[in-house]
Amino acid sequence: MSCCFSKKLFNRGANRREDCYRVKETGEAKPEDGEAPKYSWDRREKVDPADFTVQDIHSKTLRKEGKPGGPLQIENCTATRHTAYIRALPKPKKIDATILFLHQTSQVIIDDCRRCTIVLGPTQGSVFVRDSANCTILTSCQQLRTRDCTSVRIGILCPTEPIIENSNDICFFHLAMKYPHLKDQMHAVGLRPFTNRVVSVHDFSPAVGKPNFVVSAEPLKMSEGQDEILKVNTVILKATPADFIPRFTAMKDDDPTYLYILGKSEPVDELGDRAIEILHAVYKAGMKVMATYDVETKNLDATLIPFARMAERLILFQLSGSLANLECDVDFDLISENDMEPLQKLLIHLNGRKSG
């Protein structure tokens, strides 16, 4: 038995798939014979990889300008022996490379970098650091991972556990910096200045005897020359009354003060701005910030937060010093003696502290 098919049957849908992707415009005239139709991919904006790549930067400062919101790749940047020192010194001095990208990104990958200072704007996704050594990195991101790294200092604000793997001599610091528009950029990518899980670093390949990482309660310090380079590029590391990211103090206080405010989850910046006002008042009163927490109450066991009542969001301050001089226009509450026991359980849950 044989079957016959008309050529029209095979050709019937041949042009329909193309027509689905063809870009139609209002009042568009039909193309003349021989004129190629235009499709959606013909009208896509051309992407230049150079807008999202930094590579081969050696012993100089680069403030990278590019399109915010996209990925960023930084690779093969190092310090080299500076020629100005070759004749003057027995051992020529190495000058670090400094790379700044003060825009928000979707993801950052740092590969094969040596003796670099890298300052990043907020990242909506992950920052990956691989095969790098003797670097200093300042970043706020949703997740951080290092692999095959040695002697890296990381100033970080991260709402999830930073992760290291096959890495050693990694030192974490609470991020303490500011530059114009940083606050708005953090808000745009969903990062909150009062949430930082830097104390909860997870090591996938722990060493026996000596930890692969430490978490410092002191701020990250730069050399005077490096600090000046950052300052020229609008990045400030030193404390000022206008700070909106808490600067934590390493100190022992057996009787800290716990202050908190409650509010709605949205808009995010409404409760956050109230917390920043309190932060400024705390600094003005001469008090010290030991820790802060910004949490959605729906994600917590209700027995841990009886004081939160029906609020959707809680921002908690752990402070040292006297409340006598604290003057603030924002209403806040203090943890009572009755709520101290559930609070301690809450802090254990939030900190999730791990050893190196």
> Is 230 annotated for ligand binding?
no
> Is 143 annotated for ligand binding?
yes
Q: Determine the Cα–Cα distance for residues 303 and 324; give it in Å rounded to an integer.
A: 31
> Is 34 annotated for ligand binding?
no
> Is 145 annotated for ligand binding?
yes
> Is 125 annotated for ligand binding?
yes
> Is 200 annotated for ligand binding?
no
Q: Annotate the chain with three-state secondary structure.
A: CCCCCCHHHHHCCCCHHHHHHECCCCCCCCCCCCCCCCEHHHHCCCCCHHHHEEECCECCEEECCCCCCCEEEEECCECEECHHHHCCCCCCCEECEEEEECCCECEEEEECCECEEEEECCEEEEEEEECCEEEEEEEEEEEEEEECCEEEEEEEECCCCCEEECCEEEEEEECCCECCCHHHHHHHCCCCCCCCCHHHCEECCCCCCCCCEEEECCCCCCCHHHHHHHHHCCCECCCCCCCCCCCECCCCCCCCEEEEEEECCCCHHHHHHHHHHHHHHHHHCCCEEEEEEEEEHHHCCHHHCHHHCCCCEEEEEEEECCHHHCCCCCCCEECCHHHHHHHHHHHHHHHCCCCC
CA 88 to chain CA centroid, nearest Å: 41
- Binding residue positions: 125-126, 142-145
- Binding residue positions for GTP: 125-126, 142-145
